[in-house]
Amino acid sequence: MSESLPTDTTGDDLANSLRAIADGSPLVQHLTNEVTMNDVANLTLHWDALPVMADSPGDAGEMANGASAILLNTGQVPETKVEAMHEAAETAAERDVPIILDPVGVGATPTREGVAEELLEAVDFSVIKGNYGEISALAGVEAEVKGVESVGEYEEIEDAAQSLAESTGATVVTSGVEDVVATANGAVRLSVGHEMLGEVVGTGCMLGATIASFRGALEDAETAAVHGTLAFGIAGELAAEMPHEGPASYRTNFHDAVAGFSATQAAELDLAGRVERVA
């Protein structure tokens, strides 16, 4: 783990991270929900990583033996999937494979909160990624989550993210109007993305897959979190520039934007002002 978050990221830095994914073809194992599974798998592939959706007891632990990163998504929490999550995490810990948590819907029901609490007690997560409400709920501060959506005001979200990072040792990515990436030592705000991302079901899950893809190729969790979130947001902006009639065509544009987001294109980006230290 590095000592600080990368606040001076350049287009060349982001290009190097994209090349690392393309060169390494990391296998990213997803234990996720069925609602967004296809989008998550495709987006992982579009980032040049390899997706696998091994999420049943037995198979999950066996597949983790070959994974470069593992994403646990609590969008659906039947007992067998939760069992498989713990099984995959145990194997990953033995092999020092980074594990990413996407606590979907935590704060909405006691069941999801219980699943997340058990995972946090049992697993050392490399990155935790959630929306403002989910991260606030995990941090133990007031939050309002309806279904899987964050509602309400979160004026101190940077403090909540940093508190969760301090208590878990993970790098925390908080997605919202502006994204926040935090460690126990500080936090940065990322000014990227487009409002249309909020009109498509599953973009939060796809951000989790993006961060897992970057983490599977990069040794540093903070760099993977910042670069993955930057790349995701920029792809969202590029998708909005393509012709679209509404959310459905924008969703297609977004997948195409990610698939076409090359290292050469990234190297030409001016990222000045896109990452700002806030804590």
pLDDT, residue 22, reads: 98
pLDDT, residue 190, reads: 95
Cβ of 89: how many Cβ atoms within 10 Å? 24
Report the distance separating Cα 192 and Cα 229, nearest Å: 8
Q: Inform me whether the pLDDT recorded for 112 exceeds 60.
A: yes
DSSP E strands, 65-176? 69-73, 99-102, 127-131, 144-146, 149-151, 171-175
Report domain extents, the chain. 11-277
129 is annotated as contributing to ligand binding: yes
Report the distance separating Cα 89 and Cα 10, nearest Å: 33
Global confidence as pTM: 0.93
pLDDT (tens digit per residue) in 7-24: 899 999 999 999 999 999
Cβ of 263: how many Cβ atoms within 10 Å? 18
Mean pLDDT for the chain? 92
159-166 LR contacts (CB < 8 Å, sep 24+): 159/279, 160/135, 160/136, 161/135, 161/187, 162/186, 162/187, 162/279, 163/139, 164/128, 164/135, 164/138, 164/139, 165/128
Report the distance separating Cα 220 and Cα 106, nearest Å: 27
pLDDT, residue 148, reads: 45
pLDDT, residue 33, reads: 93
pLDDT bin (cut points 50, 70, 90) of residue 107 is confident
pLDDT, residue 109, reads: 84
Report the distance separating Cα 88 and Cα 92, nearest Å: 6
| 59 CB-near residues (< 8 Å, 6+ apart) | 84
pLDDT, residue 155, reads: 64
Let me know: does 176 contact 154? Beta carbons within 8 Å: yes
**Average pLDDT, stretch 198-204?**
93
202 is annotated as contributing to ligand binding: yes
37 is annotated as contributing to ligand binding: no
* Better-scored residue on pLDDT, 160 or 218: 218
pLDDT, residue 149, reads: 46
pLDDT (tens digit per residue) in 39-93: 999 999 999 999 999 999 999 999 999 999 999 999 999 999 999 999 999 999 9
pLDDT, residue 143, reads: 54
146 is annotated as contributing to ligand binding: no
pLDDT (tens digit per residue) in 138-189: 988 765 554 444 445 556 789 899 999 999 999 999 998 889 999 999 999 9
State the DSSP H helix or E strand holding residue 27, giving kind and residue range, or none if neither: strand 27-31
Specify the pairing of strand 149-151 against strand 144-146: antiparallel
Report the distance separating Cα 34 and Cα 41, nearest Å: 11
Q: Helices in 96-193 by DSSP H: which ranges?
A: 110-122, 132-139, 157-168
pLDDT bin (cut points 50, 70, 90) of residue 38 is very high
pLDDT over 70 for what percent of the chain? 94
Report the distance separating Cα 210 and Cα 127, nearest Å: 12
> What residue has token string 């713990």?
86
Cβ of 231: how many Cβ atoms within 10 Å? 24
* Better-scored residue on pLDDT, 272 or 148: 272
**Average pLDDT, stretch 110-116?**
90
| Best CATH choice for the domain 11-277 from the list 3.40.1190.20, 1.10.490.20, 4.10.1240.10, 3.40.920.10 | 3.40.1190.20
